[in-house]
Structure 1
Amino acid sequence: MGTIETVIQKNIATVTFYHPSSNSFPSNLLQQLTDEFNALGKNNSISIIVLKSAGDGAFCAGASFDELLSISNYEEGSRFFSGFANVINAMRKCPKLIIGRIHGKAVGGGVGLAASCDYTFAKKESAVKLSEIAIGIGPFVIEPAVTRKIGKIAMSEMTLNPTVWKSGEWALEKGLYTEIFDSTEELDNRLDNYIKEISGYNKEALLEIKKILWEGTDYWDTLLYERAAISGRLVLSDFTKTALEKFKK
């Protein structure tokens, strides 16, 4: 079923998610991550949140294919994709800066998670891909977060080339990643130094910066759930069911 684990040291919270299927997300794990961001946002002792995934493989493979295949009606589909909407909204509303550690490849919802972080450290091999349209749906819920970072043109390029991986260098150039490194060791050394530095800054100043970074996104409270409904409808199509079976194999 996967896990969400949080370790708090001084005023830094490190949230690690894990799922045996390439760190993908079933609905229960999405809810746990949402609840964790909401709880940490209310913890006055926390200044910085680091988001990472376990292992040395993929950062995040997006939605759980097993759960997508099990969806049998519109309500179930809409509810599942609303899980990603919940996480993104929790991240943008969280009054703490969220720093992403993107150690490996990210697909679909994993790209949405990276885009919803306030600052990201990645590796050159941390390639990204939006494969949704190839399985008959689309990156509807995560699109606002991704477009906010890389722009509509780059978002379109990813969406309309669903089988093509974009390199870590590409993601850096477009603004999805803030800094990239050749190795995990280099990434972690820089991440450790960065969070030690920024966690010592004025908490109130960091809070006000967070508000400014996400100005103009209040309408996502409605938009992301409208987008989830679109995905919830499309996931029921015969095209999508067939495509999911092929991808799973």
Structure 2
Amino acid sequence: MLDLFKTKEAYVSSDTDHFGITTIAFYHPAQNSLPLDLLHKLTEAINVAGSNSETRVIVLKSDGEHAFCAGASFDELLQIETKEQGRDFFMGFANVINECRKSPKIIIGRVYGKVIGGGVGIAAACDYCFATQNAEIKQSELSIGIGPLVVGPAVIRKIGLNAFSRLSLNATDYYSALWAKDKGLYAEVYERRKDMDKAVEAMAMKIAGWNPDVLAVHKRTLWAGTEDWDELLAERAAINGELVLMPMTQHAIKNIKTGVKS
């Protein structure tokens, strides 16, 4: 089947229907990898939806026919020349996660296709996540010489430390969507995308009809204990900003980008 998204430019879109369901979608032609500009736009879209009184619930998704999110943009990782630039790049993921955490609106994740690296953190930052059976996950950071430091708190919160240890140390292996569901990353997994989309719509419609003030209070209880994440994720972004400059890391990224086996 022709991939209609293959030649499209990267974007983040946001649309609110008359029920108050705001759908935020992101897309990048390189397997929905995320450069800093796209991370900024995604953070802004979540912030605007969270502040909009017309928004009752947020659905977060990616577009395209392949990966939900391939994580960080390798092109941008290779362009980082200083630790300050590195920190700024990884703050892009920190800001998305923190915006999801602090949003007063319930965020429903809609995951179709493989989820890699930072993409696992974005899925974990959703309050309730639907996925299809092809939504395998891989926490690949250690294999390229950085740590899953920024996304780690969000992923550990969802799947626990033991599962995160297994996922992150087997950094070259994919884990099935059913494994991710069993560990708590996904709430529901469907064989067919259209069935998942029906379930996402049904849940969004239900939540859109509930008291938004009560939902905001409930959301704060769900994220209790994460109040220090602004500082924590910033500290971890700074660490990865230094690690990405290491020669072994740059070499590994170049090899993966060009398809060369180390």
Corresponding residue number in structure 1 for 2:146: 137
2:60 to 40, 51, 55: 51
Distance in 1 between residues matched to 2:200 and 2:208, nearest whole Å = 12
Corresponding residue number in structure 2 for 1:248: 257
Q: What one-letter code is carried by the residue in structure 1 that aligns with 2:71? A: G
Distance in 2 between residues matched to 1:205 and 1:31, nearest whole Å = 29
Residues 210-229 of structure 1: matches in 2 within 5 Å?
Answer: 210-229=219-238
Distance in 2 between residues matched to 1:39 and 1:186, nearest whole Å = 29
Distance in 2 between residues matched to 1:83 and 1:191, nearest whole Å = 27
2:181 to 155, 168, 172: 172
1:125 to 134, 153, 159: 134
Once the two structures are TM-superposed, the CA of residue 39 in structure 1 deviates from its matched residue by 1.1
Corresponding residue number in structure 2 for 1:204: 213
Corresponding residue number in structure 2 for 1:235: 244
Distance in 2 between residues matched to 1:204 and 1:48, nearest whole Å = 12
Q: What one-letter code is carried by the residue in structure 2 that aligns with 1:184? A: R
Q: Normalising by the residue count of structure 1, what TM-score does the alignment of the two structures yield? A: 0.99
What is the total number of aligned residue pairs between the two structures? 249
Q: Which runs of 5+ in 1 are unaligned?
A: none
Once the two structures are TM-superposed, the CA of residue 101 in structure 1 deviates from its matched residue by 0.2
Distance in 2 between residues matched to 1:30 and 1:125, nearest whole Å = 24
Residues 1:4 and 2:3 aligned together: no
2:45 to 27, 36, 39: 36
Q: Which runs of 5+ in 2 are unaligned?
A: 1-8
Q: Normalising by the residue count of structure 2, what TM-score does the alignment of the two structures yield? A: 0.94
* Over 2 Å off, 4+ runs: none
Distance in 2 between residues matched to 1:195 and 1:218, nearest whole Å = 26
Distance in 1 between residues matched to 2:202 and 2:124, nearest whole Å = 22
Once the two structures are TM-superposed, the CA of residue 103 in structure 1 deviates from its matched residue by 0.9
RMSD value, Cα: 0.8
Q: What one-letter code is carried by the residue in structure 1 that aligns with 2:50? A: G
Q: What one-letter code is carried by the residue in structure 2 that aligns with 1:3? A: Y
